[in-house]
Amino acid sequence: MALTQEQLDYVEYQNALNQSNLINQQDAQRAAARMEAVKLAKETLIENARSKPVGERDITAADITAFADTLVNYMNT
């Protein structure tokens, strides 16, 4: 039994809606993974800095984001 044009249009609409939802969910997961990578990078750098002399313990935002980028890139491979 063949589908009517209206049914075919509805199936196409549902497929497009599902694809859009999937893309939005993947974007949200990437953002959450990125935030987790930033937290992990910060905690790791702070913990590693504890073994350095007090005057050498500076950690910058650039250090954290660079390490987070490395972690994200590692997770994506």
What pLDDT does residue 47 have? 94
Please say whether the beta carbons of 31 and 4 come within 8 A. Answer: no
Spatial separation of the C-alpha atoms in residues 58 and 53, rounded to whole Å: 10
Spatial separation of the C-alpha atoms in residues 32 and 53, rounded to whole Å: 34
Q: Average pLDDT in the 12-29 region?
A: 97
**pLDDT level of residue 1 (50, 70, 90 thresholds):** confident
The CA distances from residue 2 to 14, 16, 54, in Å, are 18, 21, 76
Question: 1 or 17: whose pLDDT is higher?
Answer: 17
Question: Who's near 41: CB < 8 A, 6+ residues apart?
Answer: 64, 65, 67, 68, 70, 71
**pLDDT level of residue 67 (50, 70, 90 thresholds):** very high
Confirm whether pTM is higher than 0.75: no
Please say whether the beta carbons of 66 and 42 come within 8 A. Answer: no
